[in-house]
Amino acid sequence: MAMKQTQTKYYDCSDVGLDMCFGATAKNPSNFKKILHEGYNRNSVVSVGVSGNQVTLNYGGAHGYKADRVLKIEDGVLSSINGGEFHIDSVTTDTVVLTIDDAPVSIEGGFSTIIAPLGWDLVYESGSVHIYEMLHIDDTPRFVRMFFEPNIKYRASVTVCIGKSYDADEGFIDDPNALQLTKNIMATAANIPRWDTYVGSSSYANYTYQQGFNGPFGHGAFTGSKYHLCFQCGDGYKNNGNISHSVYGIFPTACLDYEILDYPVLVAVLTNTAGNGIDRVVVIFAPMPFHPTTGLATLQLEIYGCVLILLKR
């Protein structure tokens, strides 16, 4: 078996150490940080078995890892191979099997592992605002400002703005071509694109994955890399926990000689209420930035309830 790529990673919201419900307003900032920047579920390896390129990590107890995640080895000899990141082939309660080409024939235990984050740098954090540095398709940096809804009585939401630069002191996007409506937003507002849910209540604020799954929010999962982020979530649509109703994310684009559109695409929703209660949601597929004057685009094509937002060239 050959080593598998680790650039694109998968996270299930039920994972040990993540335990995420997107409707849990109070926990979204820390949960996004785990996926994008920190990783989660740190454990210590007791011993290691090697057979060719098959490496078995023995934890001496339950580790909580699942197959098809990417494991990050934080120290020891394996941390210098492939950046210390390896696809998990299989697991038992207390072991993890990895494929590592050119692995040493003998490896000592005593090192730690976590579920690897996407590798986005957290360049600013203050209160409900995080700014992450991701990579554009040409390996140049793009800065993603996330404003997490702070009011636990309101719907869980994340308002996103993407730019080529940011103000490190004030914590806003200062790129004039970025979406000006959301570059420094500090309060949730209606009629702006964001990652959103249908229902809000303070009783959901600290929900675990299982509480959300059994309640209105259902299953959730993330996939991504340094270049993109995509996640599905049960957002409380019709209070049916079995429906993963929404897909949100940031996706790479290729733009030929048109600087104003040289940004990733933000997939979000546009709602006509700010905090609680909701009458209308339309899916937005929008090249960033939006129109610099109106904040929205000048052309809309409605297709089966979705709106494709285009900028006038």
Q: Which domains does the chain have, with CATH numbers?
A: 40-115 (2.40.30), 121-310 (no CATH)
Q: Who wins on pLDDT, 45 or 267?
A: 45
Sheet holding 129-135, edge to edge: 121-126, 129-135, 141-148, 158-163
Specify the range with the lowest mean pLDDT, choosing from 104-113, 232-241, 279-288: 279-288
Token pair for 75: 């120290």
Number of H helices, E strands in the chain: 2, 22
* Helix, strand or coil, per DSSP, at residue 28: helix
Contact 238, 244 (CB under 8 A): no
Q: How large is the average pLDDT for residues 57-63? A: 98
Higher pLDDT, 290 or 7: 7
CB-CB contact of 233 with 248 (8 Å): yes
Query: What is d(CA 159, CA 195) in angstroms, rounded to the nearest whole number?
Result: 6
What distance in Å separates the CA atoms of residue 28 and residue 53, rounded to the nearest whole number?
38
Alpha carbon distances (Å) from 116 to 73, 84, 163, 223: 8, 9, 25, 12
pLDDT single digits (tens) 70-114: 999 999 999 999 999 999 999 999 999 999 998 999 999 999 999
